[in-house]
Amino acid sequence: MTKAKRPPYGICDSKGLTVSRFHTRFMATKSALSWAAQKGQSVAIRRGRIIVAWARPFGPGEARLDEGHTPELAL
């Protein structure tokens, strides 16, 4: 028999503790956005030890996903 694999994606709270794990990035993103909107704190989405994205709150009950590869627009 093969051993069950640990889900690769996890969300971490502002203290760096892993809150929960997911098999897909989509589910990790949904959960992180919900967590950030409810708690009002930034939440990291990790794949292993690498931070893939951040869910950041920006208003009362709202959050946005920051993947870190969008450059600032020149105005």
10-residue mean pLDDT profile of the chain (75 residues): values are: 87 88 95 93 91 91 84 58
pTM, two decimal places:
0.82
What residues have CB less than 8 Å from 60, skipping those under 6 apart?
none
Q: Which two tokens stand for residue 47?
A: 């794949």
For residue 6, how many other CB atoms are within 10 A of its CB? Answer: 9
pLDDT, residue 8, reads 93
pLDDT, residue 75, reads 57
Beta strand 9-12 with 62-66 is: unpaired
Q: Rounded to an integer, what distance in angstroms lies between the CA atom of residue 21 and that of residue 31?
A: 10
pLDDT, residue 14, reads 80
In 1-75, where do the E strands start and end?
A: 9-12, 18-22, 43-47, 50-59, 62-66
